[in-house]
Structure 1
Amino acid sequence: MFTVQQIEEAHARVKTGADFPKYIQEIKGFGVSAFEFIVSNGVEVYHGVGSFQVQSPTKYETQDISPSVNKQQFAKELKEHQEGKSDFPYFVKMCAENGIASWKVDLEKYTCTYFDSEGKKLLSENIPA
Structure 2
Amino acid sequence: MFTIEQIKEAHSKVKSGADFPNYIQDLIILGVKGYDTFVNDGHVQYFGVNNYNVTSDEKYDEIEVASSANKERFIEFLAMHQDGQTDYLTFCSHAGQCGIAKWRVDIIEMTCTYFDKSGSEIIIEKIPV
TM above 0.5, one fold? yes
TM-score (norm 1): 0.98
Gaps in structure 2 of 5+ consecutive residues: none
Q: Does 1:93 align with 2:93?
A: yes
Q: CA deviation at 1:68?
A: 2.1
- Counterparts in 2 of 1:1-129, with a 5 A limit? 1-129=1-129
Identical amino acids, percent of aligned pairs: 43
Q: Secondary structure at the match of 1:57?
A: coil
Q: Residues of 1 paired with 2:61 and 2:83: CA distance?
A: 28
What is the alpha-carbon distance in structure 2 between the residues aligned to residue 30 and residue 68 of structure 1? 36
- Runs (4+) of structure 1 moved beyond 6 Å? none
Q: Normalising to structure 2: TM-score of the pair?
A: 0.98
Q: How big is the alpha-carbon RMSD for the aligned residues of Structure 1 and Structure 2?
A: 0.7
CA shift, 1:58, in A, is 1.4
The alignment of Structure 1 onto Structure 2 pairs a total of residues equal to 129
53-62 or 11-20, which moves further after superposition?
A: 53-62
1:61 and 1:89 map into 2 onto residues whose CA distance is: 10
